[in-house]
Every structure is written in structure tokens, then in C-alpha cells.
Structure 1
Amino acid sequence: MIEAGEAGPGSATAAPTILPGRVGNLDANQQKALEDFKTLIQNEGIFVEERHDDHLLLRFLRARKFNLQATHKMFTDCENWRREFKVDELIDGFKFDEEEAVRKCYPRYYHNIDKAGRPIYIERIGMIDIKTLFKVTDEERMTKQHVLSYEKLIRDRMPACSRKANRHIEQCCTILDLKGVSLRQFANAFGFIKRTSAIAQNYYPEMMGKMYVINAPMMFTSVWGMVKPLLDEVTVSKIVILGSNYQAALKADIEAENLPADFGGDCKCSGAGGCETGEPGPWKDPLYMNPAKH
């Protein structure tokens, strides 16, 4: 599945189709909404040229179906949150020294790219031990680390993926592994997951390209059946719920060499932590890394 991107000369694969509502594929109304939105926030003095490019502004516009008033509220709420949460200070100074201890009770990591060039994000929900987690850290620090991860995704991972693909990449392919999850375990972790999910939805919109929920127990599929009608069609189309026979579906979007062996792929990263700590991808390749960092 190919997500939004600006095709460029020299792409390794055939030029992808740019999805509607993206740079390079805007109808007249969408183009006007983008111009009006940019003018509005420029006049208000909240436009930051180095951060607010057209791709980002269009993510907010798509999230609110190009309704200018609703988009403006979402955007200003986000900018107010960034200032109150001191996001820029986090980027420059936050150190998460407990990362290794946290990973043992809440495994989540980025691992290479899918066939569309998107970063692959893996989260093993069934292995979350929330009690141990909040013995080695606290919710405030976990939330800061979560935000910092999003900022690193936008500032480092996505640009590296875009350079490799020779087109704009702005979304992820996510794998949520529910193997071993229990109702009690999910209930314990639900509050934290809900709060971090709200940050993604409200302040980092339109960044999910595809989500695979694997090893889903019957309990989850039943709940999904009730929740699905409440979600918009675009979101539903990006989510695939699978049981234990998920390998073929993952490999349809991900090359085996980029998929960890734990999920049926061929990758076995070297090092003590394997794929969970190796986090290979264009963001670690000098050819595609941020030029300012090497």
C-alpha cells in the first residue's frame, strides 16, 4: 500500500500516486483552505516557517476535513500545548536514562521501513508490566519520552525516510502485538495508553498510514466490532485486525529483511537487545541522516 508522497526523479520504485489532500494533489477548495489557513496563522504571529511547512499544515487540515475554523482551533490548541509542555526544551535537554529498564517492561521501538518507505513502529502491548514500569519511572517522564519520540520521528526519522524514498514520507506503519494480553493487564495499562494516544490524535494528527493489530484475542475482536462503527471510514481503512496467522499480511507491506524474526521476518539485529535496541533504518544510514548530524 502506497501512502502520500511526492514522487521525484531517481526513485527506486515506480512513482507512487499522491493521495488527495496532499502537496501535489489539492483541488481548488483544498488549495484555498491551505492558503487561507497559512495567512490566518501568519497574521496571528503563530506561524513558524522552519516547522510549519505545507505538509504539516495539510495534516491538520485533513484531520478536520479542511474546515478552516475547526482546523484553526486544533492548530492553536496544539501550539498552546507545545508551549505549556515546553516541547522545545524537551528536545534540547530531556534525558531518559531509564530507557533500558523501561524497554524490559514496555517494549516499543522503530525498526526499518515498509514497502511504501514508511518507518515501522512496533509496540508489544501484551508484554506491558505497568506496575514494574512505574517503579523504574513515572507517568510524567514516560509522557515526556513519548513526546520526544514523536519529535524525533518528525525531525530525524521521517526526513531520512523521505531522502531514501526520494519523496515526502509523513506516516508510519504500526504493528501492535497483543500476544499474551489479559483483560486485567489491559485495564491496568489503559489509562496511560489512552492519554498518550490523545497526544498523538490531538497534536500529531494524520501520522498513521497503516496499523496492524496482531495476535488479537477474541475479546479484542468483539470490542473492535462495537467500536468500528464509531470511527470515520478513513481511520477504519488503515487498521487491520489479525489473529495469530498474521505473517502473510505483514509481508504484503513489509519486506522480510525489514521485519524482525519474532514476527515472521528475516531480520535478527546483532547486539544484546536484538531488533528492539538496534532500531535499524535510514535514520542510521549516513546517506540519509540529517546532514547537520554527521
Structure 2
Amino acid sequence: MAFQEAIKHFTALMDEVNEQQRATFQNMHQGYPSDAIVRFLKAREWNVPKAHKMLMDCLNWRLQNEIDNILSKPIVPVDLYRAVRDSQLVGVSGYSKEGLPVFAIGAGQSSFDKASVHYYVQSHIQINEYRDRIVLPAAAKKHGRHIGTCIKILDMTGLKLSALSQIKLMTIISTIDDLNYPEKTDTYYIVNAPYVFSSCWKVVKPLLQERTRKKVQVLQGCGRDELLKIMDYSSLPHFCRREGSGSSRYSSSPGSDNCFSLDHPFHQQLYNYIKQQARGHIPPQPTKQGSFHVSLPDPDPEGVKIAETIESQLIKLEDQKTSENTSKLSHPMNSLKIYSE
């Protein structure tokens, strides 16, 4: 009953927004305003004033940064976009048996080193907007019911101590999601987790809100058998298709089977859609060529704490590794072996 009262109160507050805010809110909720309201309420533990402020901040962020037009801003030339795709590994491999889109993320091998931060942020927001405005409504139409969330499978293959350099950008991206796209992921599946991840997960897990913690499932190996319970084999990301598949960046048949690649049908459809939208969108004034700059949010204190915890754990692991290597080198038998080689 309290939940229904909160939704009713929040809905009444949303009746007071101005025309511009209402228009961008419609782009967000795609005909399901109550669903959007519930997502923001969940993100603020059903506190109506806090959830209302969060949504209003989100609407103003969308207006100030022209997020409604971001799907008409292609990253060009195509070689630059391919470089972004090769270093920010994300794609859609298929759908769960319930119709939820399956997003695959190569967390361990995304290097984010082929373009500026703004291109990676632009690409991430474009994928979010395409998911919310095109992918989810299409899935809902196909299944005859509202589908407002997705599944994410994070491949940790190749995660190394050097991930430290990527923490800042990943914190920016996760903050954008937390503040403006809350509660869009049903479950996070972690696969191919090396020791580095396991070690970091132990210290990060207690810092997460219980709501988030419940969504994360760390699967054994590539997770194939567990994932086949909720999706068909054809929807499995390439890195989940067999044990020891080796790399999330390449599969045995690169290109259309590799859901990270620009050649994959999802990315082809997304890129063609953005190019088509660009042709039909006439800007009010000439725009200079370059990345679509979005104001980067101040990180959430909770997110900062998590990032700092991961950072200190990675440094600790690095020190431990250095110490072990020094210890091995200082052992007389090892010195003799090295000398003889």
C-alpha cells in the first residue's frame, strides 16, 4: 500500500513539469511513465522527495546535453567508430527466453585507449538510448508485454592489474547509468573471472547496496550451462559458448559472431540507424565536427568509495606480485637457474 501511495504522490509531482521536461520524459519512458517512476523510486529506496529530485536532475541533464538528439550524432569517420568498438567491448548477443535483451560486455579486455573520453561516453549513451527507444520497445511488441530491462553478461577474461588506468572512465560511465538510467538491468552475470576479479569482488561486495548485490551472479567458468537455463545457445555471447574459449575479443569465427564487432548485426543496425537519423536531423546552427560533448557528472560518493576500494586492492595485489617476484629472484637456486640460462 505504501508503494502505491509513493507512486501516486510521485505521479502527481510529475504533472507539474514544464513542456520541455515532459517531452524528454516521454522519450525516456516510451509510453510507460509509471515504470520510469518506479525505477527512480527503487533507486532512492522509495523516498519520494529524493526520487523526484533524482528524476528532475536527470530530465535537466537530458535537456542541457541534448540527449534526445544523441541518436542523430554519428561518430565519424567509420574508422574512428570501429576503433571505439574494438576498445569498448559491448554488444547484444540475443534475447533471454523471457524476451530480455542480452548485453555482452568485455570488461576484462576493454582498453578505452583508441579515442578521447568523450567518444566513449557518447557511444555508451547512444547504446543506452538505442536500447530504451528501439530495442526494448521492439522486444515488448514481439512478446506482447512491457519489457523494460535487460540482462548483462560481463566477461572478465584478460582482467589484469593494469585495469587501474581504466577505473576513472568506468566510474564516469557507471555514474551516468546510476543517475540517469537506474534499474535498467535485471541481472548481472560475471563469467571467466580471474583471481584479480575474485580478490576485488570480496572487498567491493559489502559496499554495494543489497538491491544491487542481489542482481550480481558470479558464474563458474564461462557460465554456459547456467546461462542456457535462461537463453538459447544462439543468444549466448561468443565468449560463453565453450569452456576455455580463450578471448572475449575474438571468437573462432570473427565478425558477425563476435557481438563486440562493428560487423555484428546489432552494431550494423545501430550505426545505420544513427546515420539515417543524422540525415533527417537539421541542427538549428552549424555544428563543428567532433565528439558529442556531454557534461560529465560528479561521481556519487558511494561510487567514489567503491572505485577507491578497487584501486587500493589492485595496488595491494600489484605490491604482493612484486614482492613474490623479488622473493623468487633472491632465492639462491633461482639465481643459479637464471645465471645458467
| TM-score w.r.t. length of structure 2 | 0.67
Higher helix share: 2
Cα distance in 2 for residues equivalent to 1:82 and 1:93: 15
Identity %: 27
Cα distance in 1 for residues equivalent to 2:194 and 2:238: 22
Change (3 A) 1:141 1:258: same
Alignment of 1:1-294 (within 5 A): 28-45=1-18, 46-48=21-23, 50-51=26-27, 52=29, 53-96=33-76, 97=78, 98-131=80-113, 133=114, 137-184=115-162, 186-264=163-241, 272-276=255-259, 277-279=263-265
Cα distance in 1 for residues equivalent to 2:141 and 2:258: 23
Change (3 A) 1:50 1:80: closer
Q: CA deviation at 1:91?
A: 2.6
Q: Is the 2:75–2:119 contact (alpha carbons within 8 Å) kept by the matching residues of 1?
A: no
Q: CA deviation at 1:248?
A: 1.2
Q: CA deviation at 1:162?
A: 0.8
Q: CA deviation at 1:55?
A: 1.3
Cα distance in 2 for residues equivalent to 1:261 and 1:208: 21
Q: Deviations over 1:139-191 (max 9, x none)?
A: 1122112111111100000001111222111111111111111111x112111
Q: Deviations over 1:181-222 (max 9, x none)?
A: 1111x1121111111011111100001111111111122112
Q: Is the 1:139–1:192 contact (alpha carbons within 8 Å) kept by the matching residues of 2?
A: yes
Q: CA deviation at 1:272?
A: 3.6
Q: CA deviation at 1:235?
A: 1.3
Cα distance in 1 for residues equivalent to 2:182 and 2:37: 10
What's the secondary structure of 1:100's corresponding residue?
helix
Tell me which amino acid in the other structure corresponds to 2:258.
C
Q: Is the 1:112–1:279 contact (alpha carbons within 8 Å) kept by the matching residues of 2?
A: no
What's the secondary structure of 1:76's corresponding residue?
helix
What's the secondary structure of 2:147's corresponding residue?
coil
What's the secondary structure of 1:179's corresponding residue?
coil
> Which structure 2 residue ranges, 5 or more long, are not aligned?
243-250, 271-341
What's the secondary structure of 2:22's corresponding residue?
coil
Cα distance in 2 for residues equivalent to 1:85 and 1:94: 16
Cα distance in 2 for residues equivalent to 1:269 and 1:168: 36
Cα distance in 2 for residues equivalent to 1:221 and 1:270: 30
Q: Is the 2:189–2:217 contact (alpha carbons within 8 Å) kept by the matching residues of 1?
A: yes
Change (3 A) 1:249 1:56: same
Q: CA deviation at 1:69?
A: 0.6
Cα distance in 2 for residues equivalent to 1:219 and 1:101: 27
> Which structure 1 residue ranges, 5 or more long, are not aligned?
1-27, 285-294
CA RMSD of aligned residues (A): 2.5
Show the counterpart of 2:314: none
What's the secondary structure of 1:209's corresponding residue?
strand
Structure with higher Rg: it is: 2
Q: CA deviation at 1:238?
A: 1.2
After TM superposition, which residue ranges in structure 1, 4 or more long, deviate above 4 angstroms? 268-271
Change (3 A) 1:273 1:106: farther
Paired residues in the alignment total 249
What's the secondary structure of 1:210's corresponding residue?
strand
